[in-house]
Amino acid sequence: MQITDTHNHLYVEAFDDDRSEVVQRAIDKGVDRFFLPAIDSTYTDSMLSLQREYPDHIYLMAGLHPTHVKENMEEELAHVAQNLKRYKYFAIGEIGIDLYWDDSFIKEQRLAFKRQIQMAKEYELPIVIHSRDSFDEIIPILQEEEDEKLRGIFHCFTGNYGQAQTAIGLNMMLGIGGVVTFKNGGLDKFLGQIDLKHIVLETDAPYLAPTPYRGKRNEPAYLAEILQKMSEIYNIPDEEIAARTTENSKRIFGI
């Protein structure tokens, strides 16, 4: 069974002590593609190093995470633009707006989001959207930028059925992760009404571990728990969920 984790941060400090074991545990579970979103320039070297170590498994994104949009935004966006010219990337992400942690740079977050959408169009890449507490802020920007080149994924989608339909209408897929296994996560109430062709799977490791690991460090091997829950929701075998969501990931990332 081939499974794709479309969103994890294997390069961050949480994995410094056992990164190779974490990767191997995932591969042993059938997870053979890992898509890594960027945070900011301080992690670029670690991301590139990891990709060189696992060239058949690791796929990188370029971008500036909204919670890292600060006074040096222009410098960070220049770094993204420079890297896009130098290395092979499969998406611009994760980008977007975050109103959960801090809204003091909301103006800059909006600008960085728009500029990176435009970079994605220039390179004909999908975008991977971070939208914590900001779905209503993000949709008007996507509507302004909507054209035949706009496509992507709403990472860690936790919205309602109406929001899911809005996102899909803007040529976005839904990234479904550990929240789908949470008792009061809410996704299981309507997700079965969404055609599986609009869905990809993710862990967001080391964050948002699924039940029964909730509250602990997440890792890509735990995609198995997400897969099992999706199988229950759609009432089809794990293998079919894995195959169809993997095909979706190939389509969106151009593999």
Band of residue 102 on the pLDDT scale cut at 50, 70, 90: confident
Tens digits of residue pLDDT in 10-24:
999 999 999 999 999
Provide the pLDDT for residue 1.
83
Band of residue 202 on the pLDDT scale cut at 50, 70, 90: very high
Tens digits of residue pLDDT in 218-242:
999 999 999 999 999 999 999 999 9
Could you tell me the two tokens for 247?
């095909």
Residue 173: in which H helix or E strand, if any?
A: strand 172-176
Residues 6+ apart with CB under 8 A from 182: 210, 211, 214
Band of residue 101 on the pLDDT scale cut at 50, 70, 90: confident
Domains and CATH numbers, the chain: 3-253 (3.20.20.140)
Integer Cα distance of 90 and 21 in angstroms: 25
Largest Cα separation within the chain, whole Å, is 49
Band of residue 147 on the pLDDT scale cut at 50, 70, 90: very high
Q: Is residue 104's pLDDT more than 90?
A: no
Contact 151, 252 (CB under 8 A): yes
pLDDT > 90 fraction of the chain, expressed in percent and rounded: 95
Task: Please give, one letter per residue, the 3-state secondary structure of 85-138.
Answer: HHCCCCCEEEEECCCCCCCCCHHHHHHHHHHHHHHHHHCCCCEEEECCCCHHHH
pTM of the model: 0.96
> Across the chain, what does the average pLDDT equal?
96
